[in-house]
Amino acid sequence: MRTRRRLALVAVVGALALVTGWSASAQESPDRGLYRVTAADAEARTEVARSGVDVLGVRGGAVEVVASPAQASALRARGFDVELTGDVAAALTSRSGPRSVADFPAGDEGYHTYDEMVAELRAAADEHAEIASLSSVGSSYEGRDMPIVKISDNAATDEDEPEVLFTCTMHAREHLTTEMCLRIVNRFTDGYGSDETVTGFVDTREIWVIPSQNPDGAEFDISGGEYQGWRKNRQPNEDGSVGTDLNRNFSYKWGCCGGSSGTPSAETYRGASAASAPEVTNVQNWVNSRVVGGEQQITAHIDFHTFSELVLWPFGHTNDQVTEGMTEEEYARFEDVGTRMAESNGYTPGQSSSLYITDGDINDWMWGTHKVLSFCFEMYPASGGIDGFYPPDEEIGPQTARNDAAVDILLTNAG
Ligand code: 0X9
Ligand code: CA
Ligand code: CA
Ligand code: CA
Ligand code: ZN
C-alpha cells in the first residue's frame, strides 16, 4: 500500500511537470549552449552566477556555464565577454552509451533485442570455446558494437579452409533475420559432435556470422513499445532527416543506375557518398581484411532480408545477365546454386534486378569487388503489408529452420 501511494504521488508530480513545463533538471531547453564567460574577479563571477545561468566551473578568470541564447545576450549586454564553446545535447550524447531497449512489444518477446543477441553470442562462444570465437567488425553510428562470430574447428587459428559469410539485419525492421543468423550460430555450435552434417562443415569450413548490420535501426524500431516500421540506419542527414539505406550504400557502382535515391528523407537514400554509413564501412573493411596473400578467403555469402520468400543473385544494378564482371559461366553458377537452394526452402529464385533495380547493394559489391558467390534471401512471409515485417515470434522456429538445407547447400558449394 505504501509503495503504491508513493508511486501515485510521483505520477501526479510528473504530470504536473508535463503540464507546466517545470522540471527539476535544467535539461528542458533544446537550444542551451556551453559558454565561457570572462570574469576575472569574485565580484564579476558572483554577478554571472546570479544571472540565472548554470555555472559548471571556474578556471583561469573564466566561468564555464550552460545558458540559453537569451541569457548569453543578457550577459553580453552587461559587458561580459561571452563565447559559445559547445552544444549541451551533443556533449551529453557523446558521454552516454546507446540506450538499450527492454524487450520487443508484448507477445513478441521471443525475438532478441540487441542486448539479448549479444548475450546469446557470448554464451555460444563461451560454451564452445574450441570451435567458436566472438569479435567485432566495429561500431555503429550510435556506438553499438557489431559482433561477428567465427565457427570452425580450431576457431582461434586461421586455417586453409573455404570461408563462408552470413549477414543479417541490414534493414532495421527485418527482425526475423537476426533470428536466422542466431539459428546458424546455435546450430553449428550446439550440433558439433552430435550432428554429422554440422560436424562435417565445422571441420572443413570457416563460418562467419554477422547477426546485425544495423543495430541502431533495429533497436530504434522496437523502442517506444510499438513497432516503428524503420528501415535505414540512424545516422542524421544534412537536411535534418535520419538514416541511410545501408543496402544502397555499398561501394560497387554506388548510385550508378537509378536504383537508389539521392533524397536524404527517402527510404532508399544511398547516403552522401559510397560507404558513408559506418555500418557499411565496417562490413566492407572486414570483408576486405579477408584478402590474405592477395586472395579473398570468403567464397560464398548470404545476406538475409525479409520478406517475399525469394532467393536472389547479382547483379541488381542491371537487367543484363552477362555484363561487365559477370560471364555466362558465372551467371550459370549463380542460377544453379540459387535454384537448388530455392528448391530446398520453397522460395522463388531469380536475378536481383528481376525484382527491381538496386545500386550499391551488398551482393553486387561482394561479387563485383571480391567474386564472392553472394545471395540475397528474402524470408517469410511470401506477401503482406507492413505487418509482413513483424511475424509473430511463434514463426521464428519454423521459418529459420526452413533455411537449414539452403545454408548447407551454400556451404557445400563454397568448396
Ligand atoms: O531492396 C532491398 O534492399 C532488398 N529488398 S528489401 O525489401 N529487404 O529491402 C532487395 C535487394 C536485392 N537486390 C535487388 N532487388 N536488386
Ligand atoms: Ca507470441
Ligand atoms: Ca578450422
Ligand atoms: Ca582461413
Ligand atoms: Zn531488407
The domain locations on the chain are 19-96, 114-413
Per residue of the chain (415 residues), give pLDDT as tens: 344 444 443 343 333 333 333 333 333 345 789 999 999 999 999 999 999 999 998 988 999 999 999 999 999 999 999 999 888 877 787 777 788 898 999 999 999 999 999 999 999 999 999 999 999 999 999 999 999 999 999 999 999 999 999 999 999 999 999 999 999 999 999 999 999 999 999 999 999 999 999 999 999 999 988 999 999 999 999 999 999 999 999 999 999 999 999 999 999 999 999 999 999 999 999 999 999 999 999 999 999 999 999 999 999 999 999 999 999 999 999 999 999 999 999 999 999 999 999 999 999 999 999 999 999 999 999 999 999 999 999 999 999 999 999 999 999 999 8
Strands 33-38 and 62-67: antiparallel
Distance of alpha carbon 179 from its chain centroid, rounded?
14
Q: Active-site residue 226, yes or no?
A: no
* Closest ligand 1 atom, residue 174 Cα: 8
**CB-count exposure of residue 195 (10 Å: 0-12, 13-18, 19+):** middle
Ligand nearest to the CA of 313: 1
Cα-only R_g, the chain: 26
From 83, 378, 394, 395, active-site residue: 378
Q: Specify the 3-state DSSP secondary structure of 335.
A: helix
Assign domain 114-413 to a CATH class.
alpha beta
pLDDT score for 276: 98
Indicate the pairing of strand 310-313 with strand 348-351: parallel
The reported pTM is 0.82
Query: Using the 8-state DSSP alphabet, how is residue 238 labeled?
Result: T
- Nearest atom in ligand 1 to the alpha carbon of residue 364 is 13
Q: Which residues line ligand 1 (CB under 6 A)?
A: 171, 174, 247, 305, 312, 316, 352-353, 355-356, 358, 361, 376, 378
Instruction: Identify the residue whose C-alpha is closest to ligand 1 atom 14.
Output: 352
Q: How far is CA 53 from CA 99, 186, 246, in A?
A: 29, 55, 43
Gap between the Cα atoms of 384 and 89, Å rounded? 40
Ligand 1 atom with minimal separation from the 305 CA: 8
- E strands, 315-356, in order: 348-351
Q: What is the DSSP letter of 97?
A: P
Q: Which CATH number fits domain 19-96: 3.30.70.340, 3.40.605.10, 3.30.750.200, 3.10.580.10?
A: 3.30.70.340
In the chain, what is the straight-line distance between the N-terminal and C-terminal CA atoms, in Å? 67
What's the confidence (pLDDT) of residue 95? 78
